[in-house]
Structure 1
């Protein structure tokens, strides 16, 4: 009887669970998932957890295939030459193939005082702490939310809907990834909720004090609580383990999601940078990336060549409190179209998406391989960029050859 290949997945988020479930359907594979918590966290609901409208937690027994072994621990180092993980508990875990789906964390602010005087909302512990701080805060106390992207908008809306006094400091345009029509729709809803939006070049927060934020123009705005919602990076596990990463800490891979350093390691989700052209950090990208990372491993286990990753974006959804939202339709290359769904219908679509991400994991746990995107549903712009990069590489090689002649 042929021995099973030992596959370990680092990270129990959307990408990691999707990968583990897909892998579980292969009889020649034994799957272990290493995660720091014994529950699955719906990160796209963390703003709700902070506001007290959802707990953002799902039992792994619901979303994870029964045959997947769950290890609740933290990976401190990847020993790639030895194919071994060193865990915080002191244990070591060997593997034949590794799926790196470590997710993302709050990006360093690089702003004086931000580390000491702001609260993040990137992970479960962040949201739990923010919820506690909000509970101890007077209902009328001024709150500053830093970051005009989807997360900042969602946090500001959720708190303002509860009657909180919120100012959103965008650091540039409000909702930069939205179409101008969608941006106007969001701005109207924020205004109706009473959110004071400070956008444009002067809205960049240059420093944070205990009870104030200092803007780029030198002006100071009082605040009782400052929430930092301005960007994500990958954890530094891969880099500290000697693997090649991009500037944001994502593992550099080829288009099959295989590490450029080691063909026994593949990456998925927020911590993957295929061909140096990473997708937007999102659950929309995470689950397809997780599924494809698993497919790459399974093809190698079967002695077949892995295939390039194929995906395209559909839209961007942002909740604007519990009763309103927006679904911004997008081109396949993740740029906004003119069309969007707003208001209560937008909120309904957002909730459908949140539930659907979990339901897809449940489906994949019960029927591995069930959730796939057709190959035709790809990002043509990405293929064009990759083709140009390949052509440039060939040209550079030919030039080097001529120079050496």
Structure 2
């Protein structure tokens, strides 16, 4: 019964979060193409807008962490869903860089409420033997909102118009307020503790390593690749492609690729999380997926037969699911052993910083000749260096695995 109640709580929070992601995820495949229709004057403004909501979360996350000691989860979700619906509808109404700056800042607040609340919920409910599994369930379900946002948004933006699809997604998100009112699972508040990233013992190697690794992984997958994929498709193969005799827009194809990741996310994330709960630990699969991702990303700038290139993109999406699940699980392990709210907040701040820097850095580099090459090869090199950094931890994981086997004999 206790296990069912824990899973029910995590599933409800994740599903509400997924609905709120519709409008934001839609922007990543449509805004790089339709930026002029919303009153933007330059491509660099796209990078700023796709990064800004994450940048504002850097100071907001500690505040939201403190706020969740004062309010319950339902109240936080109600505020978040309302803000998400209003901002998404605003994408279809307001024009101009200044108005969009405000909208993206409001969405940043909404996501802080959703992200911090969800992460603390999983940490509080999970135990050592199922933490990776629960992280996989939460990540898999809330990311499913991106399937609809990117896939349907990418398709229908070219049919009914960007403004109309934004208004529709905003209306759907506001309807999710009903789900908040029927949300009747109470999550006990975590123990009172100081919420300050400055009180973390940064000399603890696992803390620094996990936070910086999370920053890098979210920068590469949630920032760079997510925001530039439609651009790279257009760069290689044109804004309108012919696949098997069917014409398809670059935005729609990017939506299919990115949507495929979140379509299989519930299954893959859960399996990877459960696998990492085993005796071997999380570090070995973490290093394996880092290397696999780096090799796949490094060849993306090479123009090749379209179906081979698409296969590599799907492989990258699998590694993205695996790596975000594993690094979140590693962070929750450290947070459980140390100051949970402080380390959780610092980790989320680092992840948001990485995700914010991703689009900004990418679109600054893409302005130059060979920008696609430098962006993707640089990301691949960073992942390789991260894998090398984690290699010494394999010894500790091996000792832990041996101890677990000995205990079972």
Flag whether TM exceeds 0.5 (same fold). no
Q: Between Structure 1 and Structure 2, which shows a larger proportion of strand residues?
A: 1
Which of structures 1 and 2 has the bigger CA Rg? 1
Please, what TM-score do these two structures have when normalized by structure 1?
Answer: 0.29
